[in-house]
Structure 1
Amino acid sequence: MQVAKWGNSLAVRLPASVVDALELKEGDDIEIYADRSGAFSVSKKPTVTERIERLRQYRGRLPSDFKFDRESLGDRDSR
């Protein structure tokens, strides 16, 4: 990979193999994680649609008697 000047910042040029593996296109957001040893990973940030789809995978995994009571969590009278 090559680092290049882009305005006041630096940019990393990704090789075609990485672009293909992550199915990237111009304008996509990516995340780069680095550790202290200098190793890093690049991942494509999930879109809103992809995040919603991941949440849908949890549908039906709560106990049948589970009830979320928003009123008791936000009870302003108990402050």
Structure 2
Amino acid sequence: MQVIKVDDSLAVLLPKALVDELGIKEGDDVSVLSIARDAIAVQKAATRAEFLKQIDQFRFPLPEGYKFDRDEANER
């Protein structure tokens, strides 16, 4: 990969094989992590929709007839 200058920053051109593997496209957010002094890892950053999909597994059923009362919750 090659490092190029873009304005006041540096950018890395990602090879097509990696782009395809990560499923990223122009405009996507990615995380770049330093995993060693001379090594980095690149991962696609989760979007809000992906995050909500992942967190959905932690939902649990509420009791029948349950209704959230904001005023009651704020009295505590």
- TM-score, normalized by the shorter chain, greater than 0.5: yes
Q: Residue 37 of structure 1 corresponds to which residue in structure 2?
A: 37
Q: How many residues align?
A: 67
Q: Indicate the percent of aligned positions where both proteins have the same amino acid.
A: 38
Q: Does 1:22 align with 2:25?
A: no
Letter in 1 for 2:21: A
TM-score normalised over the length of structure 1: 0.72
**Distance across 2 between alignment mates of 1:70 and 1:34:** 43
Match of 1:24, SS?
Answer: coil
**Distance across 2 between alignment mates of 1:32 and 1:21:** 16
**Distance across 2 between alignment mates of 1:2 and 1:14:** 8
Q: Does 1:11 align with 2:11?
A: yes
Runs of 4+ in 1 over 4 A off after TM superposition: none
Unpaired runs of at least 5, structure 2 = 64-71
TM-score normalised over the length of structure 2: 0.75
